[in-house]
Amino acid sequence: NSNIKSVESNLSSNKEKLDEILEEYNSKVAEAETRTSKINQLFNEVNAYKAELQELQSAHDLKVRRDSLITQCKTIAIELGQLESTLNEFTIEEQSRKSKHRAIDNQIQKLNDINNQKMENLRRYERDTYNAVEWLRKNKGMFRGEVLEPFQLIINVPNTANAKFIESIISRNDRKAFIFERSDDLNLFMKELRDKQKLNINAVIAP
């Protein structure tokens, strides 16, 4: 049961992390767009100052206004530098976030591929159990307690040696048994599938 809950917890945690990453990413994109708009506004102000500088005729006014424009341009240059630095930091963060996103996607896809392969093997070699799994996924609302699919579907053992060890200590019937929290749910399940649908399946109560 602890292995089963760990797998379910990891999947749930990965999905929550993915949602958090996407939310943070969207926030950063909006922030970057605001900064880009500010940069464009600053560039427009610089161009306006340049145009105004060219129109000044009075030598005195020109010097005063020129000094003011130079100061303003320096201030704008500093702001531009700060914005560019922030945007560079955002780009690095975005790349890191995308990398984490891809890693989580790959992990989820890998788990999905493994689960699909397990279901295909079940369909080929244990058709009754396969049909029972499909039925359970559509009718879980009928049961009052927790119902787990067969052990061979919900546990992932990447190491071949460990997988063979588990197969040696857990019988085939136990590996394909459905696990119930409540005895009344187990009885209902067996009545629907073994008695009515004549499926050769196995079910047990969780210890």
CB 82 within 8 A of CB 39: no
Q: What is the mean pLDDT of the chain?
A: 79
Phi, psi of 178 (to 5 degrees): -80, 145
Question: How far, rounded to the nearest angstrom, does the alpha carbon of residue 81 sit from its chain's CA centroid?
Answer: 35
Phi, psi of 180 (to 5 degrees): -115, 145
Report how far apart, in Å, the C-alpha atoms of 112 and of each of 64, 131, 161, 171 are: 70, 19, 22, 25
Phi, psi of 159 (to 5 degrees): -80, 125
Structure tokens, 153: 């579907």
Q: Hey, which residues does 203 pair with through a beta bridge?
A: 178
Structure tokens, 128: 């009754």
In tens, the pLDDT along 45-84 reads 877 877 776 666 566 776 777 788 888 878 888 888 888 8
Q: What pLDDT is stored for residue 196 in this prediction?
A: 95
Q: Is 42 exposed, middle or buried (0-12, 13-18, 19+ CB in 10 A)?
A: middle
Q: What pLDDT is stored for residue 127 in this prediction?
A: 94
pLDDT, greater one: 62 or 168: 62
CB 169 within 8 A of CB 20: no
Sheet of 147-148: strand order equals 147-148, 178-180, 203-205
Three-state secondary structure call for residue 179: strand
Q: How many CA atoms lie within 13 A of 93 on its CB side?
A: 16
CB 153 within 8 A of CB 115: yes
| Residue 198, phi-psi category: left (phi > 0), alpha (psi -120 to 50), beta (remainder) | left
In tens, the pLDDT along 122-166 reads 899 899 999 999 999 999 999 999 999 998 887 765 555 554 655
